[in-house]
Amino acid sequence: MYLEWTTAAELNINRNRHTATVLQNGQVLITGGHSHKGVLRECELYDPSRDRWILVANMSAPRDYHTASLLANGLVLVTGGENADGVVSTAELYNASANTWMNTQNMIHQRSGHTATVLQSGKVLVVGGSKKGEGRLDTAELYDPQVGVWTATQNMICSHVYHTASLLSNGKVLITGEPGFCSISMSPKTSELYDPIAHAWIKTNDTNIGRYHHAATVLKDRSVLVTGGRDLAISMWNSTELFNPFTNQWTTTCSMSTPRYAHSATLLPNGKVLVVGGFSSASLNSSELYDPSTGAWIVAGNTKNSRYYHTASLLTSGKVLVVGGTFSSRSGTTEIYYSEMSLEEVFL
Protein backbone atom coordinates (compact mmCIF):
# COMPACT_ATOMS: atom_id res chain seq x y z
CA MET A 1 0.00 0.00 0.00
CA TYR A 2 1.26 3.49 -0.80
CA LEU A 3 0.09 6.94 0.15
CA GLU A 4 -0.26 9.90 -2.16
CA TRP A 5 1.66 12.20 -4.51
CA THR A 6 0.33 15.61 -5.55
CA THR A 7 1.79 18.35 -7.72
CA ALA A 8 2.93 21.57 -6.07
CA ALA A 9 3.76 25.03 -7.40
CA GLU A 10 6.45 25.16 -10.08
CA LEU A 11 9.82 26.78 -9.56
CA ASN A 12 10.49 30.14 -11.15
CA ILE A 13 13.60 28.66 -12.78
CA ASN A 14 14.06 25.06 -13.94
CA ARG A 15 17.01 23.40 -12.23
CA ASN A 16 18.85 20.25 -11.24
CA ARG A 17 22.02 19.65 -9.19
CA HIS A 18 20.80 22.36 -6.79
CA THR A 19 20.55 22.26 -3.00
CA ALA A 20 17.46 22.39 -0.76
CA THR A 21 17.62 23.48 2.89
CA VAL A 22 14.70 23.54 5.34
CA LEU A 23 15.05 26.76 7.33
CA GLN A 24 14.17 27.28 10.98
CA ASN A 25 10.84 28.86 9.96
CA GLY A 26 9.90 25.77 7.91
CA GLN A 27 10.45 27.38 4.51
CA VAL A 28 12.75 25.73 1.97
CA LEU A 29 15.71 27.52 0.37
CA ILE A 30 16.81 26.35 -3.09
CA THR A 31 20.24 27.48 -4.26
CA GLY A 32 21.98 27.35 -7.61
CA GLY A 33 22.06 24.27 -9.78
CA HIS A 34 21.97 23.88 -13.53
CA SER A 35 19.33 24.81 -16.11
CA HIS A 36 19.08 25.48 -19.84
CA LYS A 37 20.70 28.85 -18.99
CA GLY A 38 23.76 27.10 -17.61
CA VAL A 39 24.94 27.14 -14.00
CA LEU A 40 22.75 29.30 -11.75
CA ARG A 41 23.34 31.88 -9.03
CA GLU A 42 19.59 32.42 -8.61
CA CYS A 43 17.85 31.19 -5.44
CA GLU A 44 14.22 30.63 -4.48
CA LEU A 45 12.24 30.17 -1.29
CA TYR A 46 9.24 27.85 -0.88
CA ASP A 47 6.46 28.73 1.56
CA PRO A 48 4.60 25.48 2.40
CA SER A 49 1.65 27.34 3.95
CA ARG A 50 0.94 29.09 0.63
CA ASP A 51 2.40 26.59 -1.84
CA ARG A 52 4.36 29.44 -3.39
CA TRP A 53 7.89 30.02 -4.68
CA ILE A 54 9.51 33.45 -4.56
CA LEU A 55 12.85 34.50 -5.99
CA VAL A 56 15.23 35.75 -3.31
CA ALA A 57 18.67 37.35 -3.39
CA ASN A 58 21.21 35.80 -5.76
CA MET A 59 24.41 34.17 -4.57
CA SER A 60 27.61 36.03 -5.42
CA ALA A 61 28.64 33.23 -7.80
CA PRO A 62 26.80 30.62 -9.87
CA ARG A 63 27.40 27.07 -8.70
CA ASP A 64 26.24 23.47 -8.97
CA TYR A 65 27.56 20.31 -7.31
CA HIS A 66 27.89 22.54 -4.22
CA THR A 67 26.64 22.10 -0.63
CA ALA A 68 24.29 24.06 1.63
CA SER A 69 24.20 23.60 5.42
CA LEU A 70 21.86 25.09 8.02
CA LEU A 71 23.91 26.45 10.92
CA ALA A 72 22.78 26.72 14.54
CA ASN A 73 22.52 30.51 14.16
CA GLY A 74 19.96 30.11 11.35
CA LEU A 75 22.33 31.11 8.54
CA VAL A 76 22.89 28.82 5.55
CA LEU A 77 26.50 28.09 4.56
CA VAL A 78 27.05 27.38 0.86
CA THR A 79 30.40 25.96 -0.23
CA GLY A 80 32.28 25.22 -3.42
CA GLY A 81 30.83 23.71 -6.55
CA GLU A 82 31.60 24.52 -10.14
CA ASN A 83 30.59 26.91 -12.91
CA ALA A 84 31.87 28.12 -16.28
CA ASP A 85 35.06 29.34 -14.60
CA GLY A 86 35.80 25.90 -13.15
CA VAL A 87 35.75 24.46 -9.63
CA VAL A 88 35.56 27.12 -6.90
CA SER A 89 36.67 27.47 -3.28
CA THR A 90 34.30 30.30 -2.39
CA ALA A 91 31.82 30.11 0.48
CA GLU A 92 28.94 32.40 1.40
CA LEU A 93 26.22 32.75 4.03
CA TYR A 94 22.49 33.38 3.50
CA ASN A 95 20.54 35.37 6.09
CA ALA A 96 16.87 34.56 5.55
CA SER A 97 15.54 37.31 7.82
CA ALA A 98 17.44 39.98 5.86
CA ASN A 99 17.35 38.18 2.47
CA THR A 100 21.06 38.82 2.00
CA TRP A 101 24.17 36.85 1.08
CA MET A 102 27.49 37.55 2.79
CA ASN A 103 30.86 36.26 1.65
CA THR A 104 32.82 34.32 4.23
CA GLN A 105 36.39 33.05 4.07
CA ASN A 106 37.19 30.84 1.08
CA MET A 107 37.79 27.17 1.69
CA ILE A 108 41.41 26.03 1.65
CA HIS A 109 40.71 23.86 -1.41
CA GLN A 110 38.57 24.24 -4.50
CA ARG A 111 36.09 21.37 -4.56
CA SER A 112 32.98 20.09 -6.34
CA GLY A 113 30.91 16.98 -5.62
CA HIS A 114 31.98 17.12 -1.97
CA THR A 115 29.95 16.81 1.25
CA ALA A 116 29.39 19.18 4.17
CA THR A 117 28.26 17.91 7.58
CA VAL A 118 27.26 20.02 10.58
CA LEU A 119 28.95 18.41 13.58
CA GLN A 120 27.59 18.27 17.12
CA SER A 121 29.99 21.12 17.97
CA GLY A 122 28.31 23.33 15.35
CA LYS A 123 31.38 23.31 13.11
CA VAL A 124 31.03 22.14 9.51
CA LEU A 125 33.16 19.29 8.15
CA VAL A 126 33.76 19.52 4.39
CA VAL A 127 35.17 16.39 2.78
CA GLY A 128 36.53 15.24 -0.56
CA GLY A 129 35.10 16.14 -3.93
CA SER A 130 37.09 16.80 -7.06
CA LYS A 131 39.16 19.56 -8.62
CA LYS A 132 40.01 19.96 -12.29
CA GLY A 133 43.46 18.60 -12.96
CA GLU A 134 43.69 16.83 -9.60
CA GLY A 135 40.79 14.36 -9.77
CA ARG A 136 39.32 13.12 -6.50
CA LEU A 137 40.39 14.85 -3.29
CA ASP A 138 41.39 13.26 0.01
CA THR A 139 41.45 16.59 1.86
CA ALA A 140 39.06 17.66 4.62
CA GLU A 141 38.54 20.98 6.38
CA LEU A 142 36.48 22.49 9.19
CA TYR A 143 34.48 25.73 9.19
CA ASP A 144 33.93 27.51 12.51
CA PRO A 145 30.77 29.67 12.23
CA GLN A 146 31.71 31.69 15.32
CA VAL A 147 34.81 33.15 13.68
CA GLY A 148 34.15 32.45 9.98
CA VAL A 149 37.44 30.62 9.50
CA TRP A 150 38.44 27.37 7.75
CA THR A 151 41.12 25.08 9.18
CA ALA A 152 42.57 21.92 7.67
CA THR A 153 42.00 18.63 9.43
CA GLN A 154 43.70 15.31 8.77
CA ASN A 155 43.42 13.99 5.21
CA MET A 156 41.17 11.02 4.59
CA ILE A 157 42.69 7.59 4.07
CA CYS A 158 41.25 7.61 0.52
CA SER A 159 40.01 10.27 -1.86
CA HIS A 160 36.23 10.38 -2.44
CA VAL A 161 33.81 12.21 -4.75
CA TYR A 162 30.02 11.88 -5.10
CA HIS A 163 30.18 10.03 -1.80
CA THR A 164 27.91 10.35 1.25
CA ALA A 165 28.64 11.65 4.74
CA SER A 166 26.42 10.59 7.65
CA LEU A 167 26.52 12.12 11.14
CA LEU A 168 26.30 9.27 13.67
CA SER A 169 24.81 9.52 17.16
CA ASN A 170 28.31 9.24 18.68
CA GLY A 171 29.37 12.40 16.82
CA LYS A 172 31.54 10.61 14.26
CA VAL A 173 30.98 10.99 10.51
CA LEU A 174 30.70 7.96 8.23
CA ILE A 175 32.00 8.37 4.66
CA THR A 176 30.90 5.84 2.06
CA GLY A 177 31.60 5.86 -1.65
CA GLU A 178 33.93 4.13 -4.06
CA PRO A 179 37.33 5.70 -3.41
CA GLY A 180 40.05 6.92 -5.72
CA PHE A 181 43.66 7.17 -4.58
CA CYS A 182 44.37 5.72 -1.12
CA SER A 183 47.38 6.35 1.09
CA ILE A 184 47.52 2.60 1.75
CA SER A 185 46.24 -0.39 -0.21
CA MET A 186 42.45 -0.33 0.02
CA SER A 187 39.40 -2.06 -1.44
CA PRO A 188 37.00 -0.20 -3.78
CA LYS A 189 34.43 -0.86 -1.03
CA THR A 190 36.29 1.27 1.53
CA SER A 191 34.41 3.36 4.08
CA GLU A 192 35.94 5.48 6.83
CA LEU A 193 35.01 7.38 9.97
CA TYR A 194 35.97 10.89 11.07
CA ASP A 195 36.52 11.31 14.81
CA PRO A 196 35.99 15.00 15.68
CA ILE A 197 37.64 14.62 19.09
CA ALA A 198 40.87 13.17 17.70
CA HIS A 199 40.57 15.08 14.39
CA ALA A 200 41.50 11.77 12.76
CA TRP A 201 40.20 9.34 10.14
CA ILE A 202 39.70 5.68 11.02
CA LYS A 203 39.32 2.83 8.55
CA THR A 204 36.11 0.93 9.19
CA ASN A 205 34.77 -2.27 7.65
CA ASP A 206 34.18 -2.41 3.89
CA THR A 207 30.77 -2.08 2.33
CA ASN A 208 29.55 -5.14 0.48
CA ILE A 209 29.52 -3.27 -2.85
CA GLY A 210 31.60 -0.32 -4.05
CA ARG A 211 29.30 2.51 -5.08
CA TYR A 212 28.97 6.27 -5.60
CA HIS A 213 26.08 8.62 -6.51
CA HIS A 214 24.20 6.55 -3.91
CA ALA A 215 22.19 7.77 -0.89
CA ALA A 216 22.74 7.23 2.84
CA THR A 217 20.10 7.75 5.53
CA VAL A 218 20.53 7.59 9.31
CA LEU A 219 17.63 5.55 10.73
CA LYS A 220 15.90 5.95 14.08
CA ASP A 221 17.80 2.96 15.50
CA ARG A 222 21.03 4.89 14.63
CA SER A 223 22.06 2.52 11.84
CA VAL A 224 22.78 3.90 8.36
CA LEU A 225 20.90 2.68 5.28
CA VAL A 226 22.87 2.93 2.02
CA THR A 227 20.84 2.58 -1.19
CA GLY A 228 21.59 2.18 -4.88
CA GLY A 229 24.32 4.03 -6.70
CA ARG A 230 26.69 2.96 -9.46
CA ASP A 231 30.27 1.80 -9.82
CA LEU A 232 33.16 2.85 -12.04
CA ALA A 233 32.16 0.19 -14.59
CA ILE A 234 28.78 1.99 -14.96
CA SER A 235 26.86 -0.84 -13.30
CA MET A 236 23.80 0.49 -11.45
CA TRP A 237 22.68 -1.06 -8.18
CA ASN A 238 19.36 -1.86 -6.56
CA SER A 239 21.21 -3.36 -3.59
CA THR A 240 21.05 -1.83 -0.12
CA GLU A 241 23.02 -2.36 3.07
CA LEU A 242 23.06 -1.28 6.71
CA PHE A 243 25.92 0.04 8.82
CA ASN A 244 25.79 -0.71 12.55
CA PRO A 245 27.66 2.10 14.38
CA PHE A 246 28.03 -0.01 17.52
CA THR A 247 29.82 -2.90 15.79
CA ASN A 248 31.10 -1.08 12.66
CA GLN A 249 29.69 -3.96 10.60
CA TRP A 250 27.88 -3.81 7.24
CA THR A 251 25.02 -6.21 6.50
CA THR A 252 22.95 -6.56 3.36
CA THR A 253 19.22 -5.96 3.51
CA CYS A 254 16.48 -6.39 0.90
CA SER A 255 17.13 -4.88 -2.53
CA MET A 256 15.01 -2.13 -4.05
CA SER A 257 12.75 -3.10 -6.95
CA THR A 258 14.69 -0.85 -9.35
CA PRO A 259 18.41 -0.08 -9.74
CA ARG A 260 18.97 3.67 -9.36
CA TYR A 261 21.56 6.36 -8.76
CA ALA A 262 21.29 10.15 -8.27
CA HIS A 263 18.07 9.48 -6.34
CA SER A 264 16.89 10.86 -2.99
CA ALA A 265 16.28 9.01 0.28
CA THR A 266 14.33 10.71 3.07
CA LEU A 267 13.68 9.51 6.63
CA LEU A 268 9.96 9.89 7.40
CA PRO A 269 8.49 10.61 10.86
CA ASN A 270 7.28 6.98 11.07
CA GLY A 271 10.85 5.71 10.67
CA LYS A 272 10.44 4.48 7.10
CA VAL A 273 12.65 5.74 4.25
CA LEU A 274 11.20 7.19 1.05
CA VAL A 275 13.38 6.71 -2.05
CA VAL A 276 12.42 8.77 -5.09
CA GLY A 277 13.49 8.84 -8.72
CA GLY A 278 17.06 8.57 -9.90
CA PHE A 279 18.49 7.20 -13.10
CA SER A 280 18.69 3.64 -14.39
CA SER A 281 18.47 3.09 -18.14
CA ALA A 282 16.49 6.34 -18.13
CA SER A 283 15.25 8.92 -15.66
CA LEU A 284 12.85 7.31 -13.15
CA ASN A 285 9.45 8.32 -11.78
CA SER A 286 9.14 5.39 -9.38
CA SER A 287 9.39 5.63 -5.61
CA GLU A 288 9.56 3.03 -2.87
CA LEU A 289 9.46 2.78 0.91
CA TYR A 290 11.87 0.90 3.15
CA ASP A 291 10.47 -0.46 6.41
CA PRO A 292 13.30 -1.00 8.95
CA SER A 293 11.10 -3.25 11.09
CA THR A 294 10.82 -5.84 8.30
CA GLY A 295 13.77 -4.95 6.07
CA ALA A 296 11.38 -4.91 3.11
CA TRP A 297 10.66 -2.44 0.31
CA ILE A 298 7.15 -1.59 -0.89
CA VAL A 299 5.94 0.51 -3.82
CA ALA A 300 5.23 4.14 -2.94
CA GLY A 301 3.60 5.19 -6.20
CA ASN A 302 4.93 7.09 -9.18
CA THR A 303 5.71 10.77 -9.29
CA LYS A 304 4.08 12.66 -12.15
CA ASN A 305 7.49 13.49 -13.62
CA SER A 306 10.62 11.40 -13.77
CA ARG A 307 13.61 13.07 -12.13
CA TYR A 308 17.22 12.66 -11.02
CA TYR A 309 19.70 15.09 -9.48
CA HIS A 310 16.64 16.47 -7.68
CA THR A 311 16.17 17.21 -3.97
CA ALA A 312 13.71 15.87 -1.39
CA SER A 313 13.01 17.78 1.84
CA LEU A 314 11.02 16.68 4.89
CA LEU A 315 8.69 19.56 5.80
CA THR A 316 7.57 20.30 9.35
CA SER A 317 4.12 18.93 8.42
CA GLY A 318 5.62 15.50 7.68
CA LYS A 319 5.15 15.93 3.93
CA VAL A 320 8.09 15.49 1.56
CA LEU A 321 8.77 18.20 -1.03
CA VAL A 322 10.53 16.93 -4.17
CA VAL A 323 12.05 19.62 -6.37
CA GLY A 324 13.46 19.79 -9.89
CA GLY A 325 15.75 17.25 -11.44
CA THR A 326 16.25 15.90 -14.98
CA PHE A 327 17.64 17.94 -17.86
CA SER A 328 14.38 18.91 -19.57
CA SER A 329 11.56 21.43 -19.36
CA ARG A 330 10.11 19.31 -16.54
CA SER A 331 12.98 20.24 -14.21
CA GLY A 332 10.92 23.14 -12.83
CA THR A 333 8.21 20.85 -11.47
CA THR A 334 7.75 20.04 -7.80
CA GLU A 335 5.66 17.41 -6.04
CA ILE A 336 4.61 16.58 -2.50
CA TYR A 337 4.41 13.15 -0.90
CA TYR A 338 1.88 12.76 1.91
CA SER A 339 3.34 10.60 4.66
CA GLU A 340 1.20 8.97 7.35
CA MET A 341 1.83 11.91 9.70
CA SER A 342 0.66 14.48 7.14
CA LEU A 343 -2.40 12.41 6.18
CA GLU A 344 -3.50 12.45 9.82
CA GLU A 345 -3.74 16.25 9.51
CA VAL A 346 -5.84 15.94 6.34
CA PHE A 347 -8.42 13.66 7.95
CA LEU A 348 -8.69 15.44 11.30
Residue 331: per-residue pLDDT: 81
The pLDDT mean for the chain works out to: 93
> Which residue has better confidence, 347 or 247?
247
Say which DSSP state 332 is in.
G
Q: Which long-range contacts (CB under 8 A, 24 or more apart) does 280-285 make?
A: 280/236, 282/306, 283/307, 283/308, 283/325, 283/326, 284/258, 284/260, 284/308
Section 217-241 average pLDDT:
94
Residue 63: per-residue pLDDT: 98
Query: Whole domain around residue 207: which residue ranges?
Result: 4-347
State the Cα angle at 26 between 58 and 150, rounded to 5°: 55
- How many domains, the chain? 1
pLDDT(135) > 90 = no
Residue 235: per-residue pLDDT: 86
Q: Where are the alpha helices (DSSP H) in 112-241?
A: none
Q: What percent of the chain has pLDDT over 90?
A: 86
Residue 343: per-residue pLDDT: 47
Q: What's the CATH number where 242 sits? A: 2.120.10.80
Residue 348: per-residue pLDDT: 41
Note the pTM of the prediction, 2 decimals. Answer: 0.94
Query: Is there a contact between 196 and 172 (Cβ–Cβ < 8 Å)?
Result: yes
Alpha carbons 339 and 4: distance in angstroms, whole number: 8
Alpha carbons 19 and 181: distance in angstroms, whole number: 28
pLDDT(3) > 90 = no
* Closest by Cα among 95, 94, 125 to 108: 125
Alpha carbons 284 and 201: distance in angstroms, whole number: 36
Cα distances (angstroms) measured from residue 272 to each of 164, 275, 321, 324: 19, 10, 16, 23
